[in-house]
């Protein structure tokens, strides 16, 4: 059981710290029940008032906000909250939040990458293994009753000792690298800055990384700078036997270009957990044996959700106690 379950409220019920819950009405989260004993939660989604009226009424009292999953948080909404100091994002990615407004206002943000890192890394490596060894293809082959008829299923290829480039060496990317080292893979990375303490090779741009890699794994945040960071030039540099894995955000890849490369056989394969227009997935991918698809579930396990709930609680408690926060997202 998580430690928050045994924590006593650190203020009387009348003086609990006020926290705004920012969510779409369709997004229900157990966080509400977990946090209710410790914080005075304001939830516009449960109010009969329009959200703007609700926020205007409570604006001056709100110093901390929880953004549930990928609920859009615009500059317009932030401008209704002049006292806001902290955003706790219950997600690893923060592309749904107006980062420029947060930067200008000096609003601190935490995300959930520490809670999700290990599970996201496991999923990324699983996708790479599946694409390389054609595991999902073999499963379909057996289930369709083709083994006694055709005998031979399509061959995969060895994953061990491949050159793997990681795009975005944050917490998730680093965990991916650790796992792939155990397979004997050679690890290189591209990130906003070179990380002196990391034992992996650094490439200043993604094109150079692709030229030096057999597979690319995307773990970075989606920003204006990383939108379509994987384009025609990068895919050409990766080559006909190259594999691309995406557990970041769909729009990191120019999806239309990737589909054409896969259909023409100009790239070796892809493992995709995220897509540009979710939940819509390009139908051309459904019949390709060298493509593995999952429905944006890389980060989600029962354990990671438990870790998320504890991380959110810990950050809120630390904020209202003037103690250091965990998983602070650096807004640049």
Active site residue 143: no
Domain shared by 77 and 153, yes or no: no
Residue 325 lies inside a defined structural domain of this protein: no
Return the C-alpha torsion angle 18, 75, 72, 216, nearest 10: -120
Domain shared by 167 and 224, yes or no: yes
Domain shared by 137 and 266, yes or no: yes
Residue 327 lies inside a defined structural domain of this protein: no
The pTM (predicted TM-score) of the whole model is 0.91
- Which residues form the domain of 210? 116-293
Domain shared by 218 and 133, yes or no: yes
Please name the residue that has the structure tokens 């920012």: 22
- In contact, 230 and 254? CB cutoff 8 Å: yes
d(CA 122, CA 269): 19
Domain shared by 20 and 164, yes or no: no
Catalytic residue among 249, 255, 309, 310: 249
Domain shared by 143 and 273, yes or no: yes
Residue 157 lies inside a defined structural domain of this protein: yes
Catalytic residue among 105, 181, 296, 306: 296
Position 99 scores a pLDDT of 95
List, in sequence order, the alpha helices (H) in the chain: 31-35, 51-58, 75-78, 99-105, 113-133, 135-143, 147-150, 171-181, 206-211, 232-238, 255-264, 302-320
Domain shared by 289 and 204, yes or no: yes
Position 204 scores a pLDDT of 96
Catalytic residue among 278, 284, 297, 303: 278
Phi first, then psi, for residue 161 (nearest 5°) are 65, 15
Total domains in the fold of the chain: 2
Residue 73 lies inside a defined structural domain of this protein: yes
Domain shared by 273 and 132, yes or no: yes
Position 15 scores a pLDDT of 84
Residue 63 lies inside a defined structural domain of this protein: yes
- In contact, 39 and 316? CB cutoff 8 Å: yes
- The structure tokens listed for 233 are 């030039």
Position 194 scores a pLDDT of 95
Domain shared by 144 and 178, yes or no: yes
Residue 14 lies inside a defined structural domain of this protein: yes
- Where residue 106 falls (left for φ over 0; alpha for ψ -120 to 50; beta otherwise) is left
Residue 181 is part of a domain; what is its CATH number? 3.40.50.720
Residue 104 lies inside a defined structural domain of this protein: yes
Regions of the chain with pLDDT less than 50: 1, 5-13
Residue 330 lies inside a defined structural domain of this protein: no
Domain shared by 165 and 87, yes or no: no
Domain shared by 134 and 54, yes or no: no
Active site residue 264: no
Furthest CA-CA distance within the chain: 72
Position 172 scores a pLDDT of 96
Active site residue 40: no
Domain shared by 99 and 159, yes or no: no
Cα–Cα distances in angstroms (integers) from residue 199 to residues 107, 124, 138, 221, 259, in the given order: 33, 20, 36, 22, 34
């Amino acid at each position: 059981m998580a430690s928050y379950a045994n924590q006593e409220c650190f203020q009387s019920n009348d003086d609990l710290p006020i926290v705004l819950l920012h969510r779409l009405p369709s997004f229900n989260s157990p966080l509400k029940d977990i946090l209710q004993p410790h914080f005075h939660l304001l939830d516009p989604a449960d109010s009969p008032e329009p959200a703007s009226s609700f926020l205007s009424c409570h604006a001056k009292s709100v110093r901390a906000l929880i953004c549930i999953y990928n609920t859009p948080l615009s500059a317009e909404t932030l401008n209704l909250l002049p006292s806001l100091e902290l955003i706790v994002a219950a997600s690893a990615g923060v592309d749904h939040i107006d980062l420029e407004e947060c930067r200008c206002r000096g609003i601190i943000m935490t995300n959930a990458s520490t809670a999700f890192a290990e599970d996201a890394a496991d999923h990324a490596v699983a996708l790479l293994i599946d694409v390389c060894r054609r595991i999902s293809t073999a499963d379909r082959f057996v289930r369709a009753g083709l083994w006694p008829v055709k005998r031979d299923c399509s061959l995969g290829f060895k994953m061990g000792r491949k050159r793997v480039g990681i795009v975005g060496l944050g917490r998730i990317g680093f965990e991916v690298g650790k796992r792939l080292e155990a397979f004997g893979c050679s690890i290189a990375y591209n990130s906003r800055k070179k990380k002196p303490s990391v034992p992996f090779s650094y490439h200043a741009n993604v094109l150079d990384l692709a030229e030096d890699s057999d597979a690319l794994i995307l773990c970075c945040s989606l920003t204006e700078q990383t939108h379509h960071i994987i384009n025609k030039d990068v895919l050409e540099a990766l080559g006909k036997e190259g594999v691309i894995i995406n557990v970041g955000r769909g729009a990191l890849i120019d999806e239309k270009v990737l589909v054409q490369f896969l259909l023409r056989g100009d790239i070796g394969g892809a493992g995709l957990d995220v897509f540009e227009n979710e939940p819509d997935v390009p139908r051309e991918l459904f019949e390709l044996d060298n493509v593995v698809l999952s429905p944006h579930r890389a980060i989600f396990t029962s354990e990671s959700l438990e870790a998320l709930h504890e991380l959110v609680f810990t950050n809120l408690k630390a904020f209202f106690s003037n103690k250091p926060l965990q998983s602070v997202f650096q807004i640049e």
